[in-house]
Amino acid sequence: MDIRVLGALNAEINGKDIVPTAGKPRQILALLALRPGQVVSVPTLMEELWDTDLPDSSLTTLQTYILQLRRMVGRALLRSTDSPGTVEAGIPAPTAKDILATRYGGYLLQVPADTVDAHRYEQLAAQGHKAFENGHDSEAARLLDQALGLWQEQALVDVPHGPVLRIETMRLHQSRLVTQERRIDAELRLGHHSELTAELTHLTARHPQHEGLHSQAMLALYRSGRQAAALDTYRRLRQRLIDELGVEPSPQLQRMHQAILTVDPRLDVIADPHHTPTYDLYTT
């Protein structure tokens, strides 16, 4: 089985698509896919589908959706030369009820976690963050880049979001942003500032109040010989924070701005024995 949630929902068995067209069954499949091998309780599934406005027939309707999903799984399990229950090397072939299983109080998608791209992303990201903390910048950049490469667009972009999926996708998107920031930190420590300026211009435009990304953009521009552009990046962020939130940039960012104004030689230091993220270069 192959499941992708980091973009449009895609799930295949033997190369056959098992994603339903109707919105609510898609929500169920998406939520089960985000928690492979874990029981998702009936109340959680109902909350996702109907929030607090439960219809009188909610349990029956949920069971109907599960049955529809099982039928799609069952059709995908059928092969031209095999049928459900065929014994292969002494092991019975799985059935739809084995894969979309009923457990006390809920349902689970009984598949290995690494068949879901979100799980592979989180594993690679965790390894990359650990490499970054240990100062292995090349390894960190490689692992974090692999993790980010699993993303196609916004998670579950073609699936309706109830309250549970909204929380799950918000968590994934926040994790993606942190992973992007750490990968850029590793690249900056490797001296790849010139290559990062275009990407950081795009990211700061998409996240106009994110101080960490702006600190990276300022540093990359400064190291690329674009001091004026680095200062302008700070000026525009400061004005936006004042206009929209009524606050000044953080002390860290103010100190980085001052360092750029005074051409602080520490800004040019690439190797960092303390493995400091860009935003924390001027914590004190």
Residues 95-151 pLDDT 10s: 888 899 999 899 999 999 999 999 999 999 999 999 999 989 999 999 999 999 999
Q: What pLDDT does 91 receive?
A: 63
pLDDT of residue 237: 96
pLDDT category of residue 86 using cuts at 50, 70 and 90: very low
Q: pLDDT band for 59, please (50, 70, 90 cuts).
A: very high
**pTM, to two decimals:** 0.88
Name every residue whose Cβ is closer than 8 Å to that of residue 91 and which is 6 or more positions away in sequence: none
Burial of 73 (0-12, 13-18, 19+ CB in 10 A): buried
- Between strands 2-4 and 100-103, the pairing is unpaired
Q: Which residues contact 225 (CB under 8 A, 6 or more apart)?
A: none
- pLDDT at 261 (0 to 100): 95
With 80 as the cut, is the pLDDT of residue 76 above it?
yes
Mean pLDDT of 25-35: 95
Tell me the C-alpha to C-alpha distance, in Å, between residue 281 and each of 42, 267, 275: 48, 9, 10
Asked if pLDDT for residue 269 goes beyond 50, the answer is yes
Mean pLDDT of 265-277: 74
DSSP-assigned letters across all residues of 45-95: HHHHHHTT---TTHHHHHHHHHHHHHHHHHHHH--SS--TT-EETTEEPP-
Tell me, which fold does domain 192-284 have in CATH?
Answer: 1.25.40
30 or 90, higher pLDDT: 30
* Triad 207, 213, 216: Cα angle to 5°: 155
Per the structure block, which two tokens stand in for 149?
């490469």
Say yes or no: do domains 2-111 and 192-284 share a fold: no
Q: Which of 35-44, 80-89, 117-126, 270-279 has the lowest mean pLDDT?
A: 80-89
Domains of the chain by residue range: 2-111, 192-284
Mean pLDDT of 269-273: 66
pLDDT at 81: 37
pLDDT of residue 145: 97
Q: What percent of the chain shows pLDDT beyond 90?
A: 75
pLDDT of residue 78: 81
Six-digit token string for 281: 């270069």
Express each pLDDT in 214-264 by its tens digit: 999 999 999 999 999 999 999 999 999 999 999 999 999 999 999 999 998
Could you give phi then psi for residue 66, rounded to 5 degrees?
Answer: -60, -40
pLDDT digits (tens, 9 = 90+) for 175-228: 999 999 999 999 999 999 999 999 999 999 999 999 999 999 999 999 999 999
Specify the pLDDT at position 236: 96
Amino acid at 225: G
Domain 2-111 has CATH 3.50.50.60: no
For residues 129 and 139, what is the distance between their CA atoms, to the nearest angstrom? 10
Quick one: pLDDT at residue 283? 75
Of 10, 63, 5, 1, whose CA–CA distance to 34 is shortest?
Answer: 5
